[in-house]
């Protein structure tokens, strides 16, 4: 990879399940456009995945498939450093150091942790890894002194903690970390279930989710069955018409049309016509993606991961030298 003089961006995805179009629209497509203007460090968040039990062989395969997905959607290895979190020791090393300045009360306020604690089937209680998840996430960002972090609306809390920890460390030990800004996508940042617009699209509810590896015909049928509302106007209004607005966002994200153009196109058409067209768009998108995905070999993925790890480790080591120097432990 050639040196790139651009602001640095960090993000990643856990290999803990099959990706869906919500992941594509909310994260992958955003990275695709941001790689033009930023130096992107896009990693495989395998340490984050093991906060819950994972079968080793499945985890290994999913990890390769995540990188294959990055490539299939169009991320360019010449502009994006792609690597495994576990290949860069600085992630866990800095994660521990940040644990020493994070407050337990701050970690317990994290929505993900609180939601897990509330689960009725969670009799044994959450693991320590889930409590400390946000400090590792902060380390993922601060290790590379990223200027920006693309986040969904439900992830801003984590980046605010990252900013807090960066400022706290800088105050205690001298200027060390860049305080990263959150970059929130205006449209498509939070794609909801197609069978329940009150819930974020999730692999835990396959009926309301369109998976990236799903058979296009199956996805076509799901879109045709997607819930709308009692009206008939194809109109975007997240508060009053959540279901159809969610479908409009999917349509806009997978086509060249913005929301206003879609509203005008279907001004005198029915929901049925709209959903038929959207079903065709989704099916075509999946077919094209899957053809590119299948053409990428394991050898290509391993080469990209190895090359990315070399670059990421070098940058992480620079940061860790300064961190240890400022701490007085090196």
Catalytic residue, chosen from 185, 200, 241, 275, is: 200
**Contact (Cβ atoms closer than 8 angstroms) between residue 30 and residue 152:** no
**Contact (Cβ atoms closer than 8 angstroms) between residue 290 and residue 281:** no
Which two tokens mark 166? 């960066």
198, burial (CB in 10 Å: exposed 0-12, middle 13-18, buried 19+)? exposed
Q: How many CA atoms lie within 13 A of 36 on its CB side?
A: 4
Measure the N-to-C terminal CA separation of the chain; round to a whole number of Å: 31
- What's the residue count for the chain? 330
Q: Is 203 a catalytic residue?
A: yes
**Contact (Cβ atoms closer than 8 angstroms) between residue 76 and residue 2:** no
In the numeric block, the tokens 């380390």 are attached to: 139
Q: Is 325 a catalytic residue?
A: no
Neighbouring CB atoms inside 10 A of 240's CB total: 11
Angle, alpha carbons 158-160-163 (nearest 5°):
115
Q: Is 200 a catalytic residue?
A: yes
User: Could you write out the DSSP letters of every residue in 130-187?
Assistant: HHHHHHHHHHHHHTTT-SEEEE-TTTHHHHHHHHHHHHHHHHHH-S----PEEEE-SS
217-221: which pairs have CB atoms within 8 A and are 24 or more residues apart?
217/283, 219/279, 219/282, 219/283, 219/286, 220/279, 220/280, 220/282, 220/283, 221/279
Catalytic residue, chosen from 14, 109, 118, 119, is: 119
**Contact (Cβ atoms closer than 8 angstroms) between residue 27 and residue 69:** no
Catalytic residue, chosen from 109, 181, 199, 203, is: 203
Helix, strand, coil percentages, rounded to 5, for the chain: 55, 10, 35
**Contact (Cβ atoms closer than 8 angstroms) between residue 149 and residue 183:** yes
Enumerate the active-site residues: 119, 200, 203
């Amino acid at each position: 990879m050639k040196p790139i003089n651009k602001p640095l961006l960090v993000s990643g995805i856990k290999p803990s399940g099959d990706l869906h179009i919500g992941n594509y629209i909310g994260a992958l497509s955003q990275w695709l456009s941001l790689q033009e203007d930023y130096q992107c460090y896009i990693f495989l968040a395998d340490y984050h995945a093991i906060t819950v039990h994972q079968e080793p062989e499945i985890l290994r395969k999913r990890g390769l498939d995540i990188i294959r997905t990055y490539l299939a959607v169009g991320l360019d290895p010449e502009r994006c450093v792609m690597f495994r979190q576990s290949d860069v020791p600085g992630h866990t090393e800095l994660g521990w150091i940040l644990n020493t300045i994070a407050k337990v009360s701050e970690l317990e306020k994290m929505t993900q942790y609180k939601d897990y604690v509330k689960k009725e089937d969670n009799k044994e209680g959450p693991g320590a890894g889930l409590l400390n998840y946000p400090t590792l996430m902060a380390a993922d960002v601060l290790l590379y002194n990223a200027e920006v972090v693309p986040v969904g609306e439900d992830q801003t809390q984590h980046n605010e903690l990252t900013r807090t920890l960066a400022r706290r460390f800088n105050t205690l030990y001298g200027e060390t970390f860049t305080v990263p800004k959150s970059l929130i996508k205006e449209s498509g940042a939070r794609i909801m279930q197609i069978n329940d617009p009150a819930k974020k699209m999730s692999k835990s509810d396959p009926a309301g989710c369109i998976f990236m590896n799903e058979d296009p015909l199956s996805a076509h049928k799901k879109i045709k069955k997607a819930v709308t509302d009692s009206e008939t106007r194809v109109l975007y209004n997240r508060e009053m018409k959540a279901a159809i607005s969610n479908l409009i966002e999917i349509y806009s994200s997978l086509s060249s049309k913005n929301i206003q153009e879609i509203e005008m196109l279907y001004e005198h058409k029915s929901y049925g016509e709209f959903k038929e067209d959207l079903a065709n768009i989704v099916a075509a998108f999946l077919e094209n993606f899957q053809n590119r995905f299948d053409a990428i070999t394991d050898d290509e993925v391993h080469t990209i991961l190895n090359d990315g790890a070399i670059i990421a480790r070098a940058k992480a080591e620079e940061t860790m030298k300064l961190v240890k120097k400022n701490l007085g432990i090196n």
